[in-house]
């Protein structure tokens, strides 16, 4: 088995599509026609018109460095409220099913790409793009999570780390947003829990990545609308 500098404590992450990033559970997309189950390419070339771009991104390295950022969030003394915040997200669960961010970093994490058939098409759409990410499946008994992430998020390790923290907050119990009709009729207080996943970024020291407009959507999907400035 290949060893990596930055892996989850329970074993290597799997970045689906990267040949040596996850051994036997590096597999073909489960549902190739579904935008949520795309495989990752080895490299992503971010068009020069997009922020943080111009360079070719080594996808495996980006995931490794992003995981290092997330691990750093829970280092003793760095963000003292982060783990407790995650445990509180699971307050409606049985105590033995509540998970801190540290706990979730021991899960097997399987990452699919969320997007178009070709990665180049992921970046079409001018100066404003929406990054989408979704927790496809998570299982607290078997301690794994399958997460699909838009390639925009992988333009930098910090951006990818924020997306991973958001999705892991869903695994900890942050709810996904109800359907539009119900959402429209809800008060500010009623809506508050649905910002739980994105609020995790603030508690875990990722202020620059925090976006107050992001809430959990149905099936734990969220859309990160960003104004991308020319590099």
Residue 222 in contact with Zn ion, rule: CB under 5 A: yes
User: What residues are paired with 144 via a beta bridge?
Assistant: 108, 139
Which residue, among 73, 96, 80, has the nearest Cα to 168 in the 3D structure?
Answer: 73
Contact between 197 and Zn ion (CB under 5 A)? Answer: yes
What whole-number distance in Å separates Cα of residue 136 and Cα of residue 64?
21
Give whichever of 26 and 135 is closer to Zn ion, judged by the CB atom. Answer: 135
> Cβ of residue 56: shortest distance to Zn ion, in angstroms?
29
Whether 40 and 16 have beta carbons less than 8 Å apart is answered as yes
Q: Which is nearer to Zn ion, 8 or 135 (CB)?
A: 135
User: Cβ-closest residue to Zn ion?
Assistant: 222
Of 35, 46, 41, 45, whose CA–CA distance to 19 is shortest? 41
- Six-digit token string for 151: 């390639």
Using rule CB under 5 A, residue 216 touches Zn ion? yes
DSSP 221: E
DSSP string across 94-121? -GGG---HHHHTTSEEEEEEES-SSHHH
In the complex with Zn ion, the residue whose CB is nearer, 173 or 216, is: 216
- Between 173 and 205, CB nearer to Zn ion: 173
200 is a contact residue toward Zn ion (CB under 5 A): no
Both tokens assigned to 7: 């892996």
Taking CB under 5 A as the rule, does residue 136 contact Zn ion? no
Report in angstroms how near the CB of residue 230 gets to Zn ion at its nearest: 28
What the block records as the tokens of 159 is: 């951006």
Q: Using CA atoms, how far apart are residues 131 and 43, in angstroms rounded to an integer? A: 18
Q: How many residues does the chain have?
A: 231
Q: Say whether 230 sits in a helix, a strand or coil.
A: coil
The CA-CA-CA angle for residues 104, 199, 142, to 5°, reads 20
Stretch that binds Zn ion, among 5-13, 152-160, 197-205, 223-231 (CB under 5 A): 197-205
Closer Cβ to Zn ion, 112 or 222, answer by number? 222
Instruction: Single out the segment in contact with Zn ion by CB under 5 A; choices: 10-18, 20-28, 179-187, 218-226.
Output: 218-226
Pick the closer one to Zn ion by CB: 29 or 175. 175
Mark the segment that binds Zn ion (CB under 5 A) among 10-18, 53-61, 105-113, 219-227.
219-227
* Span near Zn ion by CB under 5 A; candidates 69-77, 78-86, 136-144, 193-201: 193-201
Q: Residue for token digits 């947003």?
A: 177
In the bound state with Zn ion, the residue whose beta carbon lies nearer, of 107 and 222, is 222
To the nearest whole angstrom, how small is the minimum distance from the Cβ of residue 127 to Zn ion?
24
Residues that bind Zn ion (CB under 5 A): 197, 216, 222
């Amino acid at each position: 088995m290949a060893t990596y500098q930055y892996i989850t404590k329970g074993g290597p992450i799997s970045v689906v599509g990267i040949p040596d990033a996850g051994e036997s559970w590096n597999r073909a997309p489960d549902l190739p026609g579904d935008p949520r189950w795309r495989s990752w390419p080895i490299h992503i070339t971010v068009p020069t018109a997009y922020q943080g771009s111009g360079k070719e991104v080594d996808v495996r390295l980006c995931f490794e460095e992003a995981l290092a950022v997330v691990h750093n969030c829970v280092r003793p003394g760095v963000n003292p409220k982060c783990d407790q915040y995650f445990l509180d997200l699971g307050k409606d669960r049985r105590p033995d099913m509540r998970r801190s961010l540290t706990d979730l970093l021991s899960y097997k994490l399987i990452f699919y790409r969320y997007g178009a058939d070709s990665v180049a098409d992921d970046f079409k759409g001018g100066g404003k793009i929406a990054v989408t990410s979704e927790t496809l499946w998570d299982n607290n008994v078997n301690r794994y999570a399958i997460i699909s992430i838009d390639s925009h998020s992988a333009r930098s390790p910090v951006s990818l780390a924020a997306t991973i923290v958001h999705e892991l907050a869903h695994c900890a119990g942050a709810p996904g947003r109800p359907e539009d009709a119900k959402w429209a009729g809800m008060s500010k207080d009623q809506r508050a829990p649905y910002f739980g996943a994105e609020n995790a970024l603030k508690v875990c020291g990722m202020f620059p990545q925090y976006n107050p407009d992001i809430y959990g959507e149905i099936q734990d999907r969220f859309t990160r609308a960003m104004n991308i400035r020319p590099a």
